[in-house]
Amino acid sequence: MEPLAITWFVLIAVLWIGYLLLEGFDLGVGMRMLFASRDERERRVMLNTIGPVWDGNEVWLITAGAGTFAAFPEWYASLFSTLYVPLTLALVGLILRAVSIEWRGKVHTQRWRSAWTAGIGIGSLIAAFCVGAMLALTTLGLPIDGNGDRVGGPFVWFGWPAIVGGLAVVGFSLAHGSTFLALKADGSVRSRAAVFAERWSPACLVPAAIWAVWVQLEHGGNPLSWALVLLAVVGGAWGWVQARARREGLAFTGYAAFGLFGVAAIFAGVFPKVLPSTIDPAFDLTLMNASSSPYTLGVMTVITAVSLPIILGYQAWSYWVFRKRVTPGMIPDAHIVLPAILRDRDAARGVAPTA
Amino acid sequence: MEALDIARWQFGITTVYHFMLVPLTLGLGMAIAVMQSIWVRTGDEKFLRMVKFWGKLYLINFILGVATGLVQEFQFGMAWSEYSRFVGDVFGAPLALEGLLAFFAESTFLGIWIFGWGRLRKGLHLAALWCAVIGSWLSAYFIIVANSWMQHPVGVEMTAEGRPVMTDIWAVLTNNTAIAAFTHTIFGALIVAGMFLIGISWYHLWRRRHDGIDTTDASGRVIVGEVASVPGRDRTDHGVWLWSLRAGAVVAIVAFGGTALTGDWQGKLMYEQQPMKMASAEAACHTGSSFSVLSIGDPGTTDCRDVVTLIEIPGVLGFLGTGEWGADMPGITDLEPQYVNQYGETIPDDELYGSFAGTEVNYVPPMWVTYWGFRLMIGLGGITAFGALVALWLTRRGTVPSSPWIMRLAILGILAPFAGNIAGWIFTEIGRQPFVVAPNPDPSGIDGVFMFTAAAVSPGVTIGELLFSVITLTAVYAVLMVVEIFLLVKYVRGGVASAMPELAPRHDRGDDPGDRPDGERDDVLAFAY
């Protein structure tokens, strides 16, 4: 087996881990804005915990997609065309979320804010579910023929793997986002998020655990992948213990470990396949038949090996710069934008221009 | 309608839309980085205000570019899976490099810049902006490298299975088509930024005169005033707009010169690499050296017999194509047999091509699109540069004329370079048809490295799915464009105070400040969502 193809299989897993761990809490915070905030100041505290970093986190998704294109064009082409509908929905969700975050605070009327709060929450929910479904399906299999094209209608992908995967990312994001808020916010947002993480996170993590075990059972598993499943479960359980003890940093670390080892277990379990066919194992897309040429993989490996540590460095620095908890007192007052026009009444009040 | 047609409309709509947002991001970002550099260097309050105000508009626009860029990253796989399979080995690399080397820096450092006011040292905060802007320019470079490979495939060889694999990344990255197109695009983006600065600044200078704040003396020279009742309408405010306007005009004029030089280079490369595209842009049916000023014919024609050239200038076309007056340039009627000879009379009779298998190929792109797209691009560029020159002249005495009509014209002028950019891209992409990867018939072309657009679409995707996505995306995009324009207008009308709450008197800032203890107020964020 081509070592460079294995390298890229690992790198794609790393990019997805980066995405799910970082954007996971952004999506969780977004979803929590729908149901876990009582007033405008709370919503702004929540939003500003992810404010400086969410856009950088989203680039992990773009790079995972583009990296798949460069390293495994067959995988990129087959997976995304087969999952045309859920991917379209995921993109609409991500678009909605992005503009909602940026535009929400630009006008200060109740209707405006409520509409964009819904945009952040619903956009996050749709994106998390659809991305989860896509990842579950690429690990559990899709009905593809020998050319990698879908056999069956636009909704043939819909079934238990899609549901479990969708719920897995939604649940993980909620648990991870709650511990993130407990760690990064202060006041009522912090305490409510901590209570949520304590009460609900085991239930939130169950679908992801089911998915990880399902992949092992489906593909036979191997000692490494089972060990990773075990590490994920231990990490999640440890995180929960820390959440109950209200040690917010450790709880966040525990859930991050759950995500890291969980995704690693799933990729290790499906290895060396990248997209199994549910029609005929002969149609499986694997490291061998889906990868780019050794030259392309080599070039991309060198550039990634140099740039990824730098990216991790400056992203870590951005978290360091904004390491302070966001307190309700840090939120500036709403700024009402009025047209810069000298009205007649101003002139009547005798504030005419002074030359 | 065939799936292919819907997929092409979708790609066209989403890409043109995306490229309405991107040039402003590219051009205005650079302008703001320069403004902030001047502020850090001189400490002149005027430049801080410029950074804050233009930065606010920049961010409102930036996010829609980011959001719609997501679609660009995934739709090759979704709707164009056969294309992705064919070219992935070489085409995926620049996209991945764009993520690794451009997008990460752009997004991360922009977040640092937005929230970093007052948290970072001035120099570091400025460096974050420069990293973000350079990131956005690099992203433009990488995506144009990918696009240019479709126009001029280089750095690959064909495998036994008939797929191009990359053999030379350096050749792909230094593709002459890419360097020409990237510089051309950057100059185009700077024109957009220049006209944006002119139009909006014009409105504010006009408003100041209209409100009686600024007046003129007998010689027409401005007498700058101020008024306390309108937030931000002080004497510095006048400098903000006048400097922005005149700098914008200089940028637009210089950048137009840049587009002319790089465009000329592109034209010469195109004659060499894609002669049919240039011939169709000229409606040049017969070999010759005359440049067509006006040709008319049946709209949508790809047939030379329907084209009548009314006005032409002898010799010019040869100069544009080769640098030599009167040199003969090949016309469509001579090129067509060459293409048929090299690439076949019909699309191969292979199931890959679906309903197009075995059908006759028309090698002439829709001429009215290429002909008028080309002229619209150049014409709008020229009008823009002329407008910028006039703007410089009219503002020589320190303010704008009091006429509301000229002000409206200046606002309208903002749209011209956007339209010019779009026309240029539509010309070059439609002009590549019927190929998605264009073969280069000259000796530098690599045998077999080309692909018909008809073969590129996803075989497994249904018409229903494509209709669903094109309708959904178009509807969402339309709504978001309305919101973007609403927000831009609102913040433009607010002037500098819309981006600097500290200019407004306390009671005007809204919210009730009394609901939190004073002890918590010491670390209020300079900016928060």
This complex has an ipTM of 0.94
Determine the pLDDT at residue B521. Answer: 53
Any A CB within 8 A of B121 CB: no
Please answer yes or no on whether B230 and A71 come within 8 Å at the CB atom.
no
For residues B50, B55, B57, B61, the Cα torsion angle rounded to the nearest 10 degrees is 150
Q: Is residue A279 part of a domain?
A: yes
Q: Where are the beta strands (DSSP E) in B301-365?
A: 307-313
User: Tokens for B231?
Assistant: 């937030």
Contact residues for B221 (Cβ-Cβ < 8 A; gap 6+): B397, B398
Q: Is residue A355 part of a domain?
A: no
The shortest CB-CB distance from A332 to any of B95, B97, B528 is to B528
Residues of chain A numbered 166-195 and touching chain B (CB < 8 Å): none
Any A CB within 8 A of B130 CB: no
H or E element: which one contains A90?
helix A84-103
What predicted TM-score, i.e. pTM, was given to this entire model?
Answer: 0.94
**Contact (Cβ atoms closer than 8 angstroms) between residue A342 and residue B233:** yes
Select from A91, A283, A307, A312 the residue whose CB has the most chain B CBs within 10 Å, as the one to mutate to test that interface.
A91
Distance CA B516, CA B342 (A): 77
Range of the domain at A206: 3-348
Any A CB within 8 A of B225 CB: yes
Residues of chain A numbered 54-93 and touching chain B (CB < 8 Å): 54-56, 58-59, 61-63, 65-74, 76-82, 84-85, 87-88, 91-92
Q: Is residue A82 part of a domain?
A: yes
Below-50 pLDDT ranges, chain A? 350-352, 354-355
Residues in B closer than 8 angstroms to A308, CB to CB, are 100
Select from B100, B117, B130, B353 the residue whose CB has the most chain A CBs within 10 Å, as the one to mutate to test that interface.
B100
Report the candidate in B449, B452, B473 with the shortest Cα–Cα distance to residue B91.
B449
The shortest CB-CB distance from B89 to any of A80, A296, A324 is to A296
Determine the pLDDT at residue A238. Answer: 96
Please answer yes or no on whether A324 and B523 come within 8 Å at the CB atom.
yes
Any B CB within 8 A of A272 CB: no
Distance CA A79, CA A220 (A): 22
Q: Is residue A354 part of a domain?
A: no
Determine the pLDDT at residue A96. Answer: 97
| DSSP-assigned states of every residue in B52-88 | HHHHHHHHHHHHHHHHHHHHHHHHHHHH-HHHHHHHH
CB pairs under 8 A between A and B: 334
User: At how many degrees (to 10) do helices A54-71 and B104-115 cross?
Assistant: 180
- The 3-state DSSP class for residue A351 equals coil
Q: Rounded to 5, what percent of chain B is helix, strand, coil? A: 70, 5, 25
Determine the pLDDT at residue A248. Answer: 94
Please answer yes or no on whether B464 and A102 come within 8 Å at the CB atom.
no
Question: To 5 degrees, how large is the angle CA A155–CA A159–CA A165?
Answer: 110
**Contact (Cβ atoms closer than 8 angstroms) between residue A60 and residue A157:** no
What sign for the dihedral angle of Cα A177, A178, A182, A188?
positive
Contact residues for A303 (Cβ-Cβ < 8 A; gap 6+): B97, B100, B101
Distance CA A93, CA B67 (A): 10
pLDDT tens string for chain B (529 positions)? 789 999 999 999 999 999 999 999 999 999 999 999 999 999 999 999 999 999 999 999 999 999 999 999 999 999 999 999 999 999 999 999 999 999 999 999 999 999 999 899 999 999 999 999 999 999 999 999 999 999 999 999 988 888 899 999 999 999 999 999 999 999 999 999 999 999 999 999 999 999 999 999 989 899 999 998 888 999 999 999 999 999 999 999 999 999 999 999 998 898 889 988 988 888 777 777 777 777 776 656 666 766 777 777 777 777 777 777 777 778 888 888 888 888 888 888 777 777 788 888 888 888 888 888 999 999 999 999 999 999 999 999 999 999 999 999 999 999 999 999 999 999 999 999 999 999 888 766 777 788 999 889 999 899 999 999 999 999 999 999 999 999 999 999 999 999 998 887 655 444 444 444 545 555 788 888 8
Residues in A closer than 8 angstroms to B513, CB to CB, are 333
Q: Is residue A71 part of a domain?
A: yes
Q: Is residue A282 part of a domain?
A: yes
Report the candidate in A39, A49, A26 with the shortest Cα–Cα distance to residue A98.
A26
Question: To 5 degrees, how large is the angle CA A52–CA A53–CA A58?
Answer: 140
For residues B5, B10, B12, B16, the Cα torsion angle rounded to the nearest 10 degrees is 170
Determine the pLDDT at residue B513. Answer: 47
Burial label, A250 (beta-carbon count in 10 A; 0-12, 13-18, 19+): middle
Please answer yes or no on whether B228 and A351 come within 8 Å at the CB atom.
yes
**Contact (Cβ atoms closer than 8 angstroms) between residue B149 and residue B89:** no
Select from A124, A335, A345, A354 the residue whose CB has the most chain B CBs within 10 Å, as the one to mutate to test that interface.
A335
CA atoms in the 13 A half-sphere facing the CB of B403: 9
Q: How many domains does chain A have?
A: 1
Select from A14, A103, A108, A301 the residue whose CB has the most chain B CBs within 10 Å, as the one to mutate to test that interface.
A103
For residues A122, A127, A128, A131, the Cα torsion angle rounded to the nearest 10 degrees is 160
Distance CA B304, CA B280 (A): 9
Please answer yes or no on whether B468 and A88 come within 8 Å at the CB atom.
yes
φ/ψ of residue B387, rounded to 5: -60, -40
What sign for the dihedral angle of Cα B279, B272, B420, B5?
positive
Our CA-based measurement puts residue B472 at a distance from the nearest CA of chain A, in whole angstroms, of 8
Report the candidate in A82, A85, A94 with the shortest Cα–Cα distance to residue A57.
A94
φ/ψ of residue B209, rounded to 5: -70, -45
H or E element: which one contains B223?
strand B222-223
Any A CB within 8 A of B212 CB: yes
Question: To 5 degrees, how large is the angle CA B146–CA B150–CA B153?
Answer: 95
Please answer yes or no on whether B494 and A328 come within 8 Å at the CB atom.
no
The shortest CB-CB distance from A337 to any of B99, B490, B525 is to B490
Q: Closest chain B residue to A107 measured between Cα atoms?
A: B487
Distance CA B8, CA B15 (A): 10
φ/ψ of residue B229, rounded to 5: -80, -15
Residues in B closer than 8 angstroms to A68, CB to CB, are 92
Distance CA B262, CA A232 (A): 55
Distance CA A125, CA B235 (A): 49
The shortest CB-CB distance from A292 to any of B74, B89, B469 is to B89
- The 3-state DSSP class for residue B293 equals strand
